[in-house]
Amino acid sequence: MAYTIQAVITLAGDSIGSLPEPLRWLPLPASLLMLPLGTDALEVLGLPRRPFTFEEETETPPSLGKFCERLSQGRSIVYIEAEIFGGWGTQASILFKDGVQVGDPVIAEDAINQALRSLGVASGNAVDEFEAAGLGRHRNTDGWLE
């Protein structure tokens, strides 16, 4: 079974500005908020679809970088994406803090867990940070928006 996600995640306590339609923040466990970057959002924002896991980029696309830099003003956010099929696949993440990208994109099988840890998420009783954040609830990004 396939799993794909493309989203931005931040801490729920951070002050979040307004977003253009159809974008919206969704609450997650572990005191997080997620901004799913589904089909409509990518079109409105002019962002690439999963640039690291689908298009195999290794550097942050300029449109994605600028969008995340704006969102991260005064807070930390992580951009995440994954494409997994039958237990095999790739994850990617990037940390942005106070309007600046922190380091290079992480492309690894645990990239999302690394990103969530950078926000202070702990696995607790869950298998890992991914499960603690409830990211397995839907099989694809658009599923979060239905």
Average pLDDT over residues 97-118: 96
**Contact, 86 vs 40, CB < 8 A?**
no
pLDDT at 127 over 70: yes
Percentage of the chain surpassing pLDDT 90?
81
Query: In the chain, how many domains are there?
Result: 1
Residue 144 lies in a domain: no
Domain membership of residue 99 (yes or no) is: yes
With the C-alpha atoms ordered 53, 58, 59, 62, is the resulting torsion angle positive or negative?
negative
Q: Is the pLDDT score of 10 beyond 90?
A: yes
pLDDT digits (tens, 9 = 90+) for 47-66: 999 989 888 889 999 999 99
Which structural domain, as residue segments, surrounds residue 103? 2-137
φ/ψ (deg, to 5) at 114: -60, -45
| Spatial CB neighbours of 10, under 8 Å, sequence gap ≥ 6 | 16, 32, 33, 35, 71, 75, 76, 77, 78, 119
Q: In this structure, is residue 142 part of a structural domain?
A: no
In a domain, 145, yes or no: no
Could you tell me if residue 40 is inside a domain? yes
